[in-house]
Copies of this chain bind each other. A is one copy, B any other.
Amino acid sequence: MMKRLLYLLVFSISLLITSNATAGENEPPAWIDEYRETAEKLIEAALEPENMDFMWERLAWLTDYYPYRLSGSEMLEDAIEWMHDNMIEDGFDEVYKQEVMVPHWVRNEESLVFHGPWSRELRMIGLGSSVGTPPEGIRAEIMVVGSFEEFEERSHEAEGKIVVWNVPFTTYGETVQYRVRGASVASRAGAVASLLRSVTQFSMQTPHTGNIRYDDDGDPIPFAAITLEDAELMQRFQDRGEHMEVHLTMGAEMLPDALSHNVIGELTGSEKPEEIVVIGGHIDSWDIGHGVMDDAGGVIATWEAVRLMKELGLQPKRTIRVVGWTNEENGVMGGRAYRDMVMEDGSFENHQLAYEIDFGVFEPLGFGFTGSDEAFALLEPIMELTAPTGAVTLREGSSGTVDIGPLMREGMPGMGIDTNTERYFWYHHTDADTLDKLDKEDVAKIIAATAVMIYIVADMEQRLPW
């Protein structure tokens, strides 16, 4: 106890010293002063109780009435229509939809029954884009492995079995490889199906879905996620030499591509209307949970940031374009279609910045930026004005920016917001991604930080050098 308290004390003091040292390190450039008052106004408005209630009910409405927004579904198109109509009602200057053809994968009925020392139906969720099983399902012995390396060594055992990837979460980027590639790797060794330990640090018997990819060689085999709990249970039974089988049934199928839409609303710029700051999130979601943090929150936060500007009568020099991209979860066809549109109409080069929120609308901590050093240096002083929201750091490299990825890969500067993502992967792609996981004031702060950053970027004299 004493030791712990001493640590706490030393830690506090060192933090105090550090934060004193960094404060006032750089003198802000003079142009930042022009935005001081506007920034304060935007933050105040975002945190004003009436606005907080409005945005919270807007978020609740979107996710209560249109919770399962999977590409190809009617519910997704209804959500897009609802957003379109509400942006018109808000008085956006231009509101329109861009047609996008999207993959149309459907889950249908699915189940998993365990047969080991005892038999029981287990929690599972089919992975996006997986093929289904025959109607009677597949029953086979399971083989549990902890890594690609272990599988390599034991791949001669895989013939005719169902391979269970029991890989503990390290980082998302690392662990998600087993979701993306697991089925193809297992299939090449003769496995008849595969199961994935859900990609998460923590589980309450929570299976996580997400998209997979089949390599061109090898048969596509059915692939589903199980829970962390059951993966560890199977591992322990295997370590004790138990024989185990599972009976996997999946009705999943890929239908012909369907028509969907990016939904777009604009606040026209006062002086350089042809120059664009594009911001948004993705309006589609998986077919479980309500897709609240992933990514209704990102859509609502960017949209509300611009609605606040309108409410305050603020019109920046450049045009701000809010986009609800479609099909982020299983194709990114919305992001690609947007890139194609601006490449074709010649407006690509006129973009000042692309900004996306898709890593949870939790407590804001700062921003991540991908672009030139000169642009980074221009943006950094803005942090002084977003700081009251908690967004205090600008770092290199953006997170949660899949939909603007196609733009960024062509050289456009991109930005995402950094939030407290401690629990992000607990809920990610699960039926626990629901409204209660968010904090109203944190979302309001995300809106405030976004409004300040985006207003300034859209209004500043300087073009951001690419």
A interface residues, Cβ below 8 angstroms from B: 1-2, 5-6, 8-9, 12-13, 15-16, 19, 60, 64-65, 67-68, 75, 117-118, 120, 123, 203-206, 228-229, 232-233, 236-237, 289, 392, 426-427, 430-432, 434-436
Docked CA distance A431–B206 (Å): 10
CA distance in complex: A16, B270 (Å): 59
Integer count of this chain's copies in the complex? 2
| Interchain CA distance A426-B15 in the complex, whole Å | 33
**B-chain residues with CB within 8 Å of residue A430 when the two chains form the complex:** 204-205
Asked whether B392 lies within 8 Å of A1 as measured between CB atoms, the reply is yes
Q: A2-B19, A204-B206, A204-B430 are in contact. List 14 more A-B contacts (CB 8 A).
A: A5-B19, A8-B12, A9-B12, A60-B236, A64-B237, A123-B431, A203-B432, A204-B204, A204-B427, A204-B432, A205-B206, A205-B289, A205-B432, A229-B434
Task: Report Cα–Cα, A389/B115, bound state, in Å.
Answer: 40
A223 CB to nearest chain B CB (Å): 22
Say yes or no: B19 contacts A13, CB within 8 Å. Answer: no
The CA of A75 and the CA of B392, in the complex, are separated in Å by 56
| In the bound complex, CA of A249 to CA of B126 (Å) | 26
A431 touches B205 (CB 8 A): yes
* A236–B2 CA distance with the chains assembled, in angstroms: 47
Q: A117 contacts which chain B residues (CB < 8 A)? A: 64-65
A436-B118 contact, Cβ under 8 Å, with A12-B9, A430-B204, A431-B205: no
A24 CA / B402 CA spacing, docked (Å): 60
CB distance from A412 to the nearest CB of B (A): 32
B residues less than 8 Å from A19 (CB atoms): 1-2, 5
Alpha-carbon gap, A232 to B67, bound state (A): 14
Q: How far is the CA of A289 from the CA of B205 in the complex (A)?
A: 9
Whether A5 and B12, one on each chain, are in contact in the complex, defined by CB atoms closer than 8 angstroms, is yes
Q: In the docked arrangement, what's the CA distance between A332 and B238, Å? A: 36
Contact of A229 among B1, B13, B426, B432 (CB under 8 A): B432
Residues of chain B with a CB closer than 8 A to A236's CB: 60, 64
Q: How far is the CB of A59 from chain B (nearest CB, A)?
A: 11
Given A16-B9, A117-B64, A430-B204: A436 and B232 within 8 A (CB)?
yes
B15→A434 contact, CB < 8 A: no
Contacts of A1 in B (CB 8 A): 19, 392
CB distance from A394 to the nearest CB of B (A): 16
How far is it, in angstroms, between the C-alpha of A435 and the C-alpha of B432 when the chains are bound?
Answer: 21
* Those 5 A-B pairs whose CB atoms lie nearest each other, nearest first: A204-B432, A204-B204, A9-B12, A229-B434, A8-B12
Interchain nearest-CB distance for A146 vs B (Å): 15
Q: What separation, in Å, do the CA atoms of A203 and B205 have in the docked complex?
A: 11
- Bound: A60/B228 CA distance, A: 15
